[in-house]
Amino acid sequence: MASNGEAAFATNYLVLDPKEATVFDLLRFLLSSRADNRRFIFSPRGTRLPFPKRVVIVGSVVMQLILFMLAGPLALFGYALEQGLNLLHVNGGFMGLIFRILRGRRPVQAPDRDSPKFLSLIGLSDNREELDASIPIDDARYNSALAIMAAKVVYENPAHIEYVVSKIWKMEFMGFYDFWNAFQRKPTTQAMLFRQNKDSDSELICVSFRGTEPFAAEDWITDMDLSYFELPKVGRAHSGFMEALGLQRGSGWPKDLPQSTRQYAYYTIREILKDALKNNPKAKFIVTGHSLGGALAILFPSILAYHEEKDLLDRLDGVYTFGQPRVADSRFGAFVEQNLEGSTRKYFRIVYCNDLVPRVPWDNSWSDFQHFGKCIYFNSLYRGDIVDEVPNKNYFSIFMFMPKKMISAWELMRGFGMGMFMGPEYKELKVMRAVRLMGLFGLAGLPAHAPLDYVNSTRFASPNLYTSKPWLGQ
């Protein structure tokens, strides 16, 4: 959490510290427009906020406090659930486990979280690991199809990731990293890099950031946070996402860092790319991520532009984000569009149907966060369209309650027929069906956030959605 002194690099800032808030503090804040004398808010002297914005901030703080309280139980439940499901997975399912116990000929295998066979809940809900053979490298959809598989597999442990990249995709695994967060004083950001067709004209390096983990309350807290820093001549960006990418205490985004034993995502990946690309002038790279990983994916080239890293930006072949939350204000967005979009389109923000996460933080007249660029939006039939903003952009609407439940019911039923009508690789697993069932009776936008629907969307997409024609000015 930043203090006022540690935010000195920013021309403006508002940083929330929910743990310092009491009920009395929140009530006082609602009744007074001043934000600069609050225990749970860091902001410049004289900062005043309108009432609607104060209401939204209080709502954000309350939700974060609830998530803080649930963090321990949620992590324990997630650990137990993944262990139990992997126990079944490595022993041939429920009946396989029973036979092993009863017959005693083969010992029951205990799940090993560091093994290539161990799967996260993401992998257990969609165990596809092969790339789609029907989308060749010269297909306009190829980068997007590769990106979502990279964004999905990065949720797994390093051994599993390396196995998939090296043995299944037959590509060069360049490493998995656990990056330091200077503000939280611990590693919070995971990413991997791999390369295809080294030393050829089609050489492509992929950077994939891990997204919001289902049982990691801290990730969800970051998604719900409304804190921001304003960079000079650029605009306001989400503080939590920037901190995860490598923002430095007090100095913000210096172009270079002194030698350190710590690895920060932005700086380490930037240098890896510079070194890897220098021997092949035709080599390119893409950046991708799902959920929180999508936020980091678009911020990475944004900071490259901030540092005027033109040589690297010229080698950028595309940014592909899936279920990405809002990361910045309109001024920041204009800066990114100006520096990223030239003669060809490079930013592809992809949203599936009722996914909750792309609809937070809220976007309204007093908000500091807006999406920028066009969006490729897929409905529940996996039909895509290019839009300025998704329907029901802030998710929580009483008028959309029943339509969302009806779509959730349809998605549950659809899952039973996908394997039959679209092929065995589209058959939904029991874990995913259980997730959809919970969404039917809970938040419909959570099952819609799963990578499975994004994998399907990219595979069923029209190539016209990914043509190189820039969207700006259309």
**Over 50: is that where the pLDDT of 474 sits?**
no
Per-residue pLDDT reduced to its tens digit, 89-110: 999 999 999 988 888 767 899 9
**Over 70: is that where the pLDDT of 75 sits?**
yes
Answer yes or no: is 310 within a domain.
yes
Per-residue pLDDT reduced to its tens digit, 374-410: 999 999 999 999 999 999 999 988 899 999 999 999 9
Residue in this structure with the two tokens 């080239």, named with its chain if needed: 301
Q: How confident is the model at residue 343 (pLDDT cuts 50, 70, 90)?
A: low
- 77's CB contacts (< 8 A; 6+ apart) are 215
Beta bridge partners of 248: 252
Per-residue pLDDT reduced to its tens digit, 172-184: 999 999 999 999 9
pLDDT, residue 341, reads 76
Start-end of H helices in 234-388: 239-245, 265-277, 292-306, 310-314, 330-340
- Residue of 60, 43, 20, 123 lying closest to 325 (CA atoms): 60
Answer yes or no: is 150 within a domain.
yes
pLDDT, residue 345, reads 84
**Over 70: is that where the pLDDT of 5 sits?**
no
Give the pair of three-digit tokens for residue 23: 């009920």
Give the pair of three-digit tokens for residue 281: 């002038």
Q: How confident is the model at residue 3 (pLDDT cuts 50, 70, 90)?
A: low
- 434's CB contacts (< 8 A; 6+ apart) are none
**Over 50: is that where the pLDDT of 472 sits?**
no
Answer yes or no: is 89 within a domain.
no
Residues of the chain with pLDDT > 70: what percent? 97
Answer yes or no: is 142 within a domain.
yes
* Strand pairing class (284-290; 316-322): parallel
Answer yes or no: is 281 within a domain.
yes
Mean pLDDT of 425-441: 95
- 305's CB contacts (< 8 A; 6+ apart) are 313, 335, 336, 339, 340
Answer yes or no: is 402 within a domain.
yes
Answer yes or no: is 377 within a domain.
yes
How far, in Å, CA of 54 to CA of 72, rounded? 29
How far, in Å, CA of 255 to CA of 267, rounded? 9
Q: What's the total number of domains in the chain?
A: 1
Given the residues 144, 227, 239, 291, select the one marked as catalytic.
291
**Over 60: is that where the pLDDT of 2 sits?**
no
Given the residues 219, 355, 368, 453, select the one marked as catalytic.
355
Mean pLDDT, rounded, of the chain: 93
- Known catalytic residue at 355: yes
Answer yes or no: is 315 within a domain.
yes
Where residue 142 sits, what CATH number does that domain have? Answer: 3.40.50.1820
Given the residues 368, 449, 453, 457, select the one marked as catalytic.
449
- Known catalytic residue at 388: no
How far, in Å, CA of 347 to CA of 342, rounded? 11
pLDDT, residue 473, reads 39
- Residue 339's domain spans which residues? 118-466
- Known catalytic residue at 330: no
Q: How confident is the model at residue 364 (pLDDT cuts 50, 70, 90)?
A: confident
